[in-house]
Structure 1
Amino acid sequence: MAQTIYSFKPYPSNTDLCKASEALITAHPCLKELGSKTGWYGWKVSLAFKMGNYRQKLAKSGCAEVSINAGKRSKNNPDSDHPHANIKRARRSEVNFLPNFPTGENQASLDLMRLEIIEETDKSEKNLQFIEKLMQTTFALRRQDIIKSQLPVKDLLRSWPALQLESQVLSEFHRITNVNLRSTFYAELDRHTPRLLNLYRQKAVRTGKLAEALRATLAAYDLQEEHDVISRRTLSLCALPVYLREDGSAFFQTFNEEEEPDYHDVPLALGITGADPFSCKKFTVVIEGNAVFNEVPTIPDSFMLLFGLTYVFNLEYPKSLLNTFTMIQKMFVCLDDGKPLKPCLMTLKEDLLLQ
């Protein structure tokens, strides 16, 4: 049971263990506990201990995903971190969070491949297939730099410059989640956009600051000569934080064309060069003060790349837009981590799924 549960989740939640215990007595009724309300509570407690013991054995054998959390405070290590503090584990439906090195490879051999990637990326005519092959092989080493060493994004981009290629951001996201980011994001966004636009207009006719802010965004959209798919996607994404009552002023960094953008000390942002996101033709994806992508043609592409990079670099969602990014994760990218939605997000989800 522990081995099977681990194949799905190394660190199962209480709900996961409850479901596994219930499935156990359903498949084997003879194991049902007599005199128990559920018939499986004792099995849940037992499985929690079994999972701990199984992870301990894997950590001793060198399994990277669990050994990274070994060596916490104990009798022999009284000065170490608390056993439950800063546990490095998948939190947003990551499938390959911290894999082991490929068979027959070690850190030295993978580091040589990393140098080959740097050399190939510096060329004016890049061999994208060769870069893809090397990036796939060195995935485990890269995740150790990101998860284990927790290097700043600036250093990671210097060590792994291929992560500034759009194709590699999409490939890396697929390696981590097994989800095709571009196709899933745009398919779900286009599916929900008509309903989102109706909700925005319904809210905009009311009174209050929220309605006023929505009216301003809708007015900029209505001024466009052509309401094509890109402008509808832009409206859906730009009005979403407003609809969820979140402050996106620090996230959307707007500059004049003559003004030199200053992204110093900006943790996560989209740089907009121009008056508004509908007329702007140049967007910048900013992470930890670094312009990772310059001159992205549309704001939907910018959102998609920025969301992908939060997984690639294992970044937290911006606190001011936590609900917006959670909604994108669960509704537009279909990565459900099993955590319950906040009431405002649950209401929006029900409204979107309402036929």
Structure 2
Amino acid sequence: MEQERISLLAEQQKRNNRQSIKEKMAKTFGYRRQEIVHQRPSIEGLLERWPALFHMEEVNAEFMRITTFPLETKFLAQLDKHSTKLLQVIRSRGGVVKQKTTGILQVLDEEAEAGELEQATMAIFVIGKEDQFHRPKDVKVLIEGTEVLSGLPSVATAFAMLFGLIYALNLRYPKELQSTFEVVQKVLMELEGKKMSPKVNRLRTQLFIPE
């Protein structure tokens, strides 16, 4: 399997080689998973040893291998389904809850200091404006101060990729974002949803109350 990993690195240097990379990533899944779970390598180490993992297509594929659920398509569909009601719930709470939710994930603009990025456990870095009329110039995902994905089309896609990487890299949810990611996992993605914290269960109940 180590020879397959080295061969995979060589394949990445070739153009128009996605199918071969896809096949080798699937073949080395067990070997890679054992390394990630038991050895807990650094993000920099994983980028060096498994650079193919840090592409949207392979994040989606790895998430499917681990959970048997599609990542990006399900996340975006569920977000579209629940976003209106979710915003209503947030606005109805106001005050401190609303302020905390506004910064639910550290989304940094292009003026962010380098020190901010280095200290961010997990962050989405947006360059340029994003609204219904504009796409950002770039959207990146950073983990442990290291850029792991770039060129993403939207913040929503970036959030999906970050969630997928948490699974792919066997990471824990940051303490300050525990409830946020629990909502994504158990309410939006419907993974292990039989057991959830009272706070998340209340939100789930509110989302499914008929208009």
Q: Which residue is equivalent to 2:4?
A: 113
CA shift for structure 1 position 342: 2.4
The match for 1:314 among 170, 189, 192 is 170
Q: Partner residue of 1:218? A: none
2:110 to 255, 270, 275: 255
Partner of 1:272: 126
- The answer to whether the 8 A contact 1:265-1:288 is kept is yes
Summarize deviations over 1:92-141 as a string: whole Å, max 9, x none: xxxxxxxxxxxxxxxxxx11111121111123x23111111111111111
**CA-CA distance at 1:175 after TM superposition:** 0.5
> Quick check: 1:156 aligned with 2:40?
no
Deviation at 1:173, TM superposition (A): 0.5
> In the superposition, relative to structure 1, how do residues 174 and 142 fare at CA in structure 2: closer, same or farther (>3 Å)?
same
Partner secondary structure for residue 171 of structure 2: coil
C-alpha separation in 1, matches of 2:199 and 2:22? 40
Selected match of 1:328 from 179, 184, 203: 184
The residue identity in structure 2 corresponding to 1:113 is: E
Supply the distance in 2 between the matched residues of 1:117 and 1:158 (Cα, whole angstroms). 12
Deviation at 1:297, TM superposition (A): 2.0
In structure 1, runs of 5+ residues without a counterpart are 1-109, 214-240
Q: Following TM superposition, by how much is the alpha carbon of 1:309 offset from its aligned partner in structure 2, in angstroms?
A: 0.1
User: Displacement of 1:283 after TM fit?
Assistant: 1.5
TM-score, with structure 2 as normaliser: 0.88
- Counterpart of 2:207 in structure 1 is 352
1:206-285 alignment, distance < 5 Å: 208-211=95-98, 213=99, 242=101, 248=104, 251-256=106-111, 261-262=114-115, 263-274=117-128, 278=131, 281=136, 282-285=138-141
Question: What is the TM-score normalised by the length of structure 1?
Answer: 0.54
Give the structure with the larger helix fraction.
2
Q: Does 1:342 align with 2:201?
A: no
The whole-number CA distance in structure 2 between the counterparts of 1:136 and 1:197 is 38
2:183 touches 2:200 (CA, 8 Å); kept in 1?
yes
The counterpart of 2:158, out of the listed 302, 313, 330, is: 302
What is the CA-CA distance between 1:328 and the residue it aligns to? Answer: 0.3
Is 1:135–2:25 an aligned residue pair? yes
In 2, distance between residues paired with 1:297 and 1:173?
19
Within a 5 Å distance, the mapping from 1:122-201 to structure 2 comes to 122-123=13-14, 125-201=15-91
Q: State the distance in 1 between where 2:204 and 2:69 align.
A: 21
SS at match of 2:40: coil
Gap regions ≥5 residues in structure 2: none
Q: Distance in 1 between matches of 2:62 and 2:26?
A: 8
Partners of 1:175 and 1:345 in 2: CA distance: 26
Asked whether the equivalents of residues 107 and 125 of structure 2 are also in contact (C-alpha less than 8 Å), the reply is yes
* 154 and 177 in structure 1: CA distance in 2 versus 1, 3 angstrom threshold: same
Question: Between Structure 1 and Structure 2, how many residues are aligned?
Answer: 206
Q: How far apart are the structure 2 equivalents of 1:114 and 1:133?
A: 12
Identity of aligned residues (%): 32
Q: CA RMSD in A?
A: 2.2
CA contact (8 A) 2:90 2:97 kept: no
What is the DSSP-based 3-state SS (H/G/I as helix, E as strand, rest coil) of the residue aligned with 2:150? strand
Query: Does the aligned pair in 2 maintain the 1:272–1:280 contact within 8 Å?
Result: no
SS in 2 for 1:296: coil
SS at match of 1:302: helix
Tell me if the contact between 1:255 and 1:261 (Cα under 8 Å) persists in the aligned partners: no
For residues 188 and 119 of structure 2, the distance between their equivalents in structure 1, rounded to whole angstroms, comes to: 29
Measured after TM superposition, the shift of residue 277 of structure 1 is: 5.2
